[in-house]
Structure 1
Amino acid sequence: MQIRSFQNTDRAAVIALWQACGLTRPWNDPDSDISFCVSKPESTILVGERDSKIVASVMTGHDGHRGWLYYLAVDPALQKAGHGRAMVQAAEAWLTARGVPKVMLMVRPENTQVRAFYDALGYAEEPRVIFSRRLDGK
């Protein structure tokens, strides 16, 4: 798998991958999420390609203090082959190159498979309460 930066021509394939992996939610429009991400220098999307097909992705960005991972996806037929690990490492390298000292992500509590994946990569669960408020009226 080759990892590279997202190009706008990847948009439909990346959205289809996110949908195939169950990452999209009705209140989060993936097309808008992509547009917002790629319009900012503090964020990017990396894609993994195999045989000219996008098979993996990760969105990453930072707030100047913490980095974040979003939309880590690997084609379901290719999971458990190291592609997810490679995408996380690429996102971590992108953040490290920008001097970001810490990376975080959110996983739904019931998603035990993904929690185990990040645990195996050396990520630790941190006791935090997350507050949020919608600003878009949704």
Structure 2
Amino acid sequence: MQIRSFQLSDYRSVAELLEEVLSEECCEETMGAFARQLSWDSELVLVAEKEGEIVGVLIGTIDQSKGYVYRIAVQEAFRMQGVGRSLISTMNNRFRQRKVMKVLIAEDKHNELLRPFYDSLGLKPSDFVNPTQPLSIVAG
């Protein structure tokens, strides 16, 4: 498995993955944030690729000195295989390279479903933030 930056040629595969994995409401919100993040900084959109197939995606963003994990999605067939953990680890490295002081998880009703995953990474309640505005509007 390879974790790498999003490339324009990945767009269709990533969009299909998000449609497959996320609820309709979550997908709509995520696609808007995804497009905005690509226009700001595509290096903070990561994909997990296995045998030429996109099996996971992580959308991150930076607002001042804080890094945010906005959305993570992994194909169901590839869950529990370290894909999400690898995406988070790679994003944390990108944040460190950019001198990000604090990494937070965007706490919304969609990420709340992933709380057991984040707990397994050793994240504490203080690592979650419920922004007053959607990150896709605040950051950039």
Q: TM-score range by the shorter chain?
A: 0.7 to 0.9
Give the secondary-structure state (helix, strand or coil) at the position aligned to 1:16: helix
Rounded Cα–Cα distance in structure 1 between residues aligned with 2:110 and 2:46: 26
Q: Which amino acid aligns with 1:93?
A: N
Rounded Cα–Cα distance in structure 2 between residues aligned with 1:114 and 1:5: 23
Paired position in structure 2 for 1:75: 75
Equivalenced residues, count = 133
Gaps of 5+ in 1: none
Residues 44-91 of structure 1: per-residue CA shift (max 9 Å, x gap): 211010010000110111112210012211111110011110000011
Task: Please report the TM-score for the alignment, with normalisation by the length of structure 2.
Answer: 0.81
Paired position in structure 2 for 1:7: 7
Rounded Cα–Cα distance in structure 2 between residues aligned with 1:78 and 1:52: 14
**Rg larger in structure:** 1
Where relative contact order (Cα < 8 A, 6+ residues apart) is larger, the structure is 2
- Specify whether residues 129 and 76 from structure 1 end up closer, same or farther in structure 2 by C-alpha distance, changes over 3 A only: closer
Percent identity at matched positions?
27
- CA RMSD in angstroms comes to 2.6
- Specify whether residues 25 and 80 from structure 1 end up closer, same or farther in structure 2 by C-alpha distance, changes over 3 A only: same
User: After TM superposition, where is structure 1 displaced by more than 4 Å over at least 4 residues in a row?
Assistant: 108-113, 127-130
- Would you say the 8 A contact 1:57–1:72 is kept in 2? yes
Paired position in structure 1 for 2:104: 104
Structure with the larger helix share: 2
- Specify whether residues 110 and 69 from structure 1 end up closer, same or farther in structure 2 by C-alpha distance, changes over 3 A only: closer
Paired position in structure 1 for 2:29: 28
